[in-house]
Homo-oligomer: A and B are copies of this chain.
């Protein structure tokens, strides 16, 4: 039977989510703990991947097992077994064909920045040393709303059938003194997309790119067009949404 598992992690110490040879990844830690507790090899499937150093307030993965365990109990034991930078919030039974990646209808990321040095937020936000015009950045961000080809903001060499994504929300907001957050929701994200968007918005914010320039970058649908990617530490996956019928009692 299949279960969805909801987890959070501080990605600082990991080579991202996705399991890979010779690297410490969140998925490798999760699969290893699940396999130990369920006494059989478990291979989870994530809702997506987060890159090296990127965090998740809420990542979702599914896994198959013969069942026979109490979900809340497994959740507790898993959280106890995993290192202090990974926590499991919930494990729920889903239909056997529910898929953590293909059934996700919306993902939301936060990119947090610090305009002044902050010893307490430094692990989860990027320090910016120049002034930013947030109104300009929000005018540019609004151009992302709706359905577009996001190739300009996609890591070159990535193979996907289409680079079209629908962005539902994209805006900067102050969250505390000296700290701003970029919140972006879409049906899907291409590799490196949020960091490429944020990096390019920085160049709008500091005046090197006009709103019209930003529009041209987006329309170009060509990776060379965008600015540098913003650093990993400010980025967190904060929500993965599914159709509610997926969580009806099975």
Point out residues on A near B: beta carbons under 8 Å: 8-10, 55, 57, 79, 84-87, 116-120, 122-124
Contact = CB atoms under 8 A, between A and B. Distances in A.
**Max count, chain B CB within 10 A of own CB: residue among A79, A118, A120, A123:** A120
Contacts of A124: 120
A86 to B, nearest CB: 6
A34 to B, nearest CB: 16
A87 B8 contact: no
A59 to B, nearest CB: 11
Given A10-B119, A10-B120, 5 more contacts: A8-B119, A10-B122, A55-B120, A84-B117, A87-B119
State how many copies of this chain the complex holds. 2
B120 A8 contact: yes
A13 to B, nearest CB: 10
A122 B57 CA distance: 14
A244 B119 CA distance: 27
23 contacts: A8-B118, A8-B119, A8-B120, A9-B119, A10-B119, A10-B120, A10-B122, A55-B119, A55-B120, A57-B120, A79-B117, A84-B117, A84-B119, A84-B122, A85-B119, A85-B122, A86-B119, A87-B116, A87-B117, A87-B118, A87-B119, A120-B124, A123-B123
A110 to B, nearest CB: 12
Contacts of A86: 119
Contacts of A116: 87
A8 to B, nearest CB: 6
A120 to B, nearest CB: 6
A215 B218 CA distance: 67
A72 to B, nearest CB: 13
Contacts of A120: 8, 10, 55, 57, 124
Contacts of A57: 120
A222 to B, nearest CB: 36
Nearest to A79: B117
A9 B122 CA distance: 11
Contacts of A10: 119-120, 122
